[in-house]
Amino acid sequence: MANIVELQSIHKSYGLGTAVATEVLHGISLNIAEGEFSALTGPSGSGKSTLLNLIGLLEKPTSGQLRINGQAIDGLDDAHITALRGRTIGFIFQFHHLLPGFSALENVMMPSIIDQGWPTAEAKDTALALLKQVGLADAAHKRPSQLSGGMQQRVAIARALSLSPRLILADEPTGNLDTQSANDIFELLESVNRERQSACLIVTHDPGLAARCQRRIHMVDGRLVDDPTANA
Protein backbone atom coordinates (compact mmCIF):
# COMPACT_ATOMS: atom_id res chain seq x y z
CA MET A 1 0.00 0.00 0.00
CA ALA A 2 1.34 3.43 -0.97
CA ASN A 3 2.22 6.11 1.57
CA ILE A 4 0.14 9.27 1.73
CA VAL A 5 2.64 10.91 4.15
CA GLU A 6 6.41 10.52 4.07
CA LEU A 7 8.71 12.40 6.45
CA GLN A 8 12.45 11.85 6.47
CA SER A 9 14.74 13.37 9.11
CA ILE A 10 12.44 16.30 9.77
CA HIS A 11 13.70 19.05 12.05
CA LYS A 12 11.70 22.11 13.05
CA SER A 13 13.12 25.11 14.86
CA TYR A 14 11.71 28.47 15.85
CA GLY A 15 13.59 31.72 16.35
CA LEU A 16 16.52 30.80 14.14
CA GLY A 17 19.23 33.42 14.22
CA THR A 18 18.17 34.71 17.63
CA ALA A 19 19.35 34.05 21.16
CA VAL A 20 16.18 32.07 21.86
CA ALA A 21 16.34 29.64 18.93
CA THR A 22 14.57 26.42 19.87
CA GLU A 23 14.37 23.11 18.04
CA VAL A 24 11.07 21.36 18.76
CA LEU A 25 11.27 18.41 16.33
CA HIS A 26 14.47 16.38 16.26
CA GLY A 27 14.87 14.27 13.12
CA ILE A 28 11.37 12.83 12.71
CA SER A 29 11.02 10.02 10.16
CA LEU A 30 7.48 8.77 9.64
CA ASN A 31 5.35 7.14 6.95
CA ILE A 32 1.56 6.96 6.98
CA ALA A 33 -0.05 4.60 4.49
CA GLU A 34 -3.24 5.09 2.51
CA GLY A 35 -6.26 4.13 4.57
CA GLU A 36 -4.34 3.93 7.84
CA PHE A 37 -6.12 4.90 11.07
CA SER A 38 -3.55 6.24 13.55
CA ALA A 39 -3.39 8.06 16.86
CA LEU A 40 -0.72 10.63 17.70
CA THR A 41 -0.19 10.80 21.45
CA GLY A 42 2.23 12.37 23.89
CA PRO A 43 2.41 14.84 26.76
CA SER A 44 1.76 18.54 26.31
CA GLY A 45 4.75 20.22 24.72
CA SER A 46 6.00 17.05 23.06
CA GLY A 47 5.63 18.49 19.54
CA LYS A 48 2.35 16.88 18.44
CA SER A 49 0.74 20.08 17.18
CA THR A 50 3.92 21.13 15.39
CA LEU A 51 4.14 17.76 13.66
CA LEU A 52 0.47 17.93 12.69
CA ASN A 53 0.96 21.44 11.28
CA LEU A 54 3.90 20.25 9.18
CA ILE A 55 1.97 17.27 7.82
CA GLY A 56 -0.98 19.58 7.16
CA LEU A 57 1.29 21.95 5.20
CA LEU A 58 0.49 24.83 7.55
CA GLU A 59 4.20 25.16 8.37
CA LYS A 60 7.44 24.16 6.66
CA PRO A 61 10.22 22.08 8.20
CA THR A 62 13.57 23.66 8.95
CA SER A 63 15.28 20.68 7.32
CA GLY A 64 14.46 17.19 6.10
CA GLN A 65 12.14 15.97 3.36
CA LEU A 66 8.35 15.97 3.42
CA ARG A 67 6.15 14.32 0.80
CA ILE A 68 2.36 14.44 0.74
CA ASN A 69 0.56 12.17 -1.71
CA GLY A 70 3.91 11.52 -3.40
CA GLN A 71 4.61 15.23 -3.91
CA ALA A 72 7.83 16.63 -2.44
CA ILE A 73 7.18 19.95 -0.75
CA ASP A 74 10.69 21.30 -1.36
CA GLY A 75 10.58 24.09 -3.90
CA LEU A 76 6.78 24.43 -4.10
CA ASP A 77 5.53 27.99 -3.88
CA ASP A 78 2.72 29.01 -1.55
CA ALA A 79 0.05 28.74 -4.24
CA HIS A 80 0.95 25.15 -5.07
CA ILE A 81 1.18 24.21 -1.38
CA THR A 82 -2.25 25.74 -0.76
CA ALA A 83 -3.73 23.81 -3.68
CA LEU A 84 -2.15 20.53 -2.55
CA ARG A 85 -3.39 21.06 1.00
CA GLY A 86 -6.92 21.96 -0.07
CA ARG A 87 -7.35 18.98 -2.38
CA THR A 88 -5.54 16.33 -0.34
CA ILE A 89 -6.06 17.11 3.35
CA GLY A 90 -9.16 17.56 5.50
CA PHE A 91 -8.80 19.23 8.91
CA ILE A 92 -10.86 18.67 12.05
CA PHE A 93 -10.15 20.74 15.15
CA GLN A 94 -11.22 20.58 18.78
CA PHE A 95 -13.20 23.81 18.59
CA HIS A 96 -14.80 23.26 15.17
CA HIS A 97 -13.93 26.70 13.68
CA LEU A 98 -17.30 26.81 11.94
CA LEU A 99 -18.27 30.18 10.46
CA PRO A 100 -21.03 31.47 12.76
CA GLY A 101 -22.78 33.58 10.14
CA PHE A 102 -23.31 30.63 7.78
CA SER A 103 -25.57 27.59 7.92
CA ALA A 104 -24.30 24.06 8.41
CA LEU A 105 -24.78 23.48 4.67
CA GLU A 106 -22.79 26.59 3.75
CA ASN A 107 -20.01 25.64 6.17
CA VAL A 108 -19.71 22.22 4.56
CA MET A 109 -19.67 23.81 1.10
CA MET A 110 -16.96 26.32 2.04
CA PRO A 111 -13.86 24.27 0.95
CA SER A 112 -15.45 23.72 -2.45
CA ILE A 113 -16.37 27.40 -2.74
CA ILE A 114 -12.77 28.33 -1.96
CA ASP A 115 -11.45 25.76 -4.43
CA GLN A 116 -13.85 26.61 -7.27
CA GLY A 117 -14.32 30.30 -6.56
CA TRP A 118 -18.11 30.08 -6.36
CA PRO A 119 -20.86 27.76 -5.01
CA THR A 120 -21.84 25.09 -7.51
CA ALA A 121 -24.86 22.82 -7.64
CA GLU A 122 -22.54 19.83 -7.37
CA ALA A 123 -20.96 21.25 -4.21
CA LYS A 124 -24.41 21.73 -2.67
CA ASP A 125 -25.46 18.17 -3.53
CA THR A 126 -22.21 16.82 -2.07
CA ALA A 127 -22.64 18.86 1.11
CA LEU A 128 -26.21 17.68 1.59
CA ALA A 129 -25.11 14.06 1.12
CA LEU A 130 -22.32 14.52 3.66
CA LEU A 131 -24.67 16.07 6.22
CA LYS A 132 -26.93 13.07 5.73
CA GLN A 133 -23.96 10.75 6.24
CA VAL A 134 -23.11 12.39 9.58
CA GLY A 135 -26.75 12.32 10.71
CA LEU A 136 -27.54 16.01 10.25
CA ALA A 137 -29.75 16.10 7.17
CA ASP A 138 -32.43 17.97 9.12
CA ALA A 139 -29.94 20.58 10.38
CA ALA A 140 -28.65 21.76 7.01
CA HIS A 141 -30.06 25.27 7.36
CA LYS A 142 -29.27 25.78 11.04
CA ARG A 143 -26.39 27.97 12.13
CA PRO A 144 -23.68 26.68 14.49
CA SER A 145 -25.20 28.50 17.48
CA GLN A 146 -28.31 26.36 17.05
CA LEU A 147 -26.33 23.10 17.27
CA SER A 148 -24.87 21.18 20.19
CA GLY A 149 -21.11 20.70 20.49
CA GLY A 150 -21.35 17.17 19.13
CA MET A 151 -23.49 18.33 16.22
CA GLN A 152 -21.03 21.12 15.41
CA GLN A 153 -18.21 18.57 15.34
CA ARG A 154 -20.23 16.45 12.92
CA VAL A 155 -20.57 19.48 10.65
CA ALA A 156 -16.81 19.98 10.90
CA ILE A 157 -16.25 16.36 9.86
CA ALA A 158 -18.59 16.76 6.89
CA ARG A 159 -16.72 19.94 5.92
CA ALA A 160 -13.40 18.08 6.13
CA LEU A 161 -14.75 15.47 3.71
CA SER A 162 -16.17 17.91 1.17
CA LEU A 163 -13.30 17.57 -1.32
CA SER A 164 -12.82 13.82 -0.73
CA PRO A 165 -9.39 14.16 0.94
CA ARG A 166 -7.00 11.24 1.02
CA LEU A 167 -5.79 12.35 4.46
CA ILE A 168 -7.76 13.57 7.48
CA LEU A 169 -5.92 15.33 10.29
CA ALA A 170 -7.86 15.65 13.54
CA ASP A 171 -6.46 17.69 16.43
CA GLU A 172 -8.20 16.61 19.65
CA PRO A 173 -11.55 16.23 17.83
CA THR A 174 -13.27 14.83 20.94
CA GLY A 175 -11.46 16.91 23.57
CA ASN A 176 -14.34 19.35 24.07
CA LEU A 177 -17.13 16.77 24.16
CA ASP A 178 -18.83 14.61 26.77
CA THR A 179 -18.03 10.89 26.83
CA GLN A 180 -20.98 9.76 24.70
CA SER A 181 -20.53 12.49 22.09
CA ALA A 182 -16.79 11.75 21.97
CA ASN A 183 -17.50 8.07 21.33
CA ASP A 184 -20.03 8.96 18.61
CA ILE A 185 -17.51 11.23 16.85
CA PHE A 186 -14.79 8.59 17.07
CA GLU A 187 -17.10 5.94 15.60
CA LEU A 188 -17.97 8.35 12.80
CA LEU A 189 -14.29 8.84 12.00
CA GLU A 190 -13.82 5.06 12.04
CA SER A 191 -16.67 4.64 9.54
CA VAL A 192 -15.26 7.39 7.29
CA ASN A 193 -11.88 5.66 7.34
CA ARG A 194 -13.43 2.30 6.58
CA GLU A 195 -15.82 3.42 3.85
CA ARG A 196 -13.72 6.09 2.11
CA GLN A 197 -10.26 4.69 2.83
CA SER A 198 -9.08 8.16 3.83
CA ALA A 199 -6.03 7.92 6.07
CA CYS A 200 -6.75 9.42 9.50
CA LEU A 201 -4.22 10.82 11.96
CA ILE A 202 -5.86 11.78 15.24
CA VAL A 203 -4.15 13.71 18.02
CA THR A 204 -5.69 12.63 21.32
CA HIS A 205 -4.93 12.62 25.03
CA ASP A 206 -7.55 9.90 25.58
CA PRO A 207 -5.72 6.56 26.00
CA GLY A 208 -8.96 4.65 25.46
CA LEU A 209 -9.53 6.21 22.05
CA ALA A 210 -5.85 5.85 21.11
CA ALA A 211 -6.01 2.14 21.92
CA ARG A 212 -8.84 1.72 19.40
CA CYS A 213 -6.68 2.98 16.52
CA GLN A 214 -4.76 0.63 14.25
CA ARG A 215 -1.51 2.33 15.16
CA ARG A 216 -0.33 4.54 18.00
CA ILE A 217 2.46 7.03 17.32
CA HIS A 218 3.79 8.35 20.61
CA MET A 219 5.90 11.50 20.95
CA VAL A 220 8.14 12.66 23.78
CA ASP A 221 10.30 15.80 23.64
CA GLY A 222 10.07 16.18 19.86
CA ARG A 223 10.95 12.57 19.07
CA LEU A 224 8.92 9.50 18.13
CA VAL A 225 8.89 6.62 20.59
CA ASP A 226 6.92 3.39 20.85
CA ASP A 227 6.19 3.20 17.13
CA PRO A 228 7.96 0.23 15.54
CA THR A 229 6.67 1.15 12.06
CA ALA A 230 7.73 4.80 12.15
CA ASN A 231 10.80 4.23 9.98
CA ALA A 232 9.34 1.51 7.81
CA distance between the termini of the chain: 12
- Predicted confidence at residue 231, as pLDDT, reads 43
Annotated domain spans of the chain: 36-60+77-225
Kind of pairing between the strands at 71-72 and 63-68: antiparallel
CA atoms within 13 A on the CB side of 112: 21
pLDDT, mean of residues 80-88: 88
Q: Which of 222, 183, 181, 217 is nearest to 202 (CA)?
A: 217
Does residue 228 surpass a pLDDT of 80?
A: no
Does residue 227 surpass a pLDDT of 70?
A: no
Q: Give CA 108 to chain center in angstroms.
A: 15
* Cβ within 8 Å of residue 140, ≥6 positions away: 103, 104, 105, 127, 128, 131
Please give the CATH number for the structural domain made up of 36-60+77-225: 3.40.50.300
- Indicate the DSSP class of residue 231: T
Burial of 182 (0-12, 13-18, 19+ CB in 10 A): buried
Does residue 232 surpass a pLDDT of 50?
A: no
Q: Are 105 and 136 in contact (CB under 8 A)?
A: no
Chain-wide mean pLDDT for the chain?
Answer: 88
Question: Comparing 181 with 230, which gets the higher pLDDT?
Answer: 181
| pTM to 2 decimal places | 0.86
Q: Are 24 and 50 in contact (CB under 8 A)?
A: yes
Question: Comparing 97 with 10, which gets the higher pLDDT?
Answer: 10
- Predicted confidence at residue 225, as pLDDT, reads 85
- Predicted confidence at residue 1, as pLDDT, reads 74
Write the pLDDT tens digit of every residue in 124-155: 999 999 898 888 899 999 999 999 888 898 89
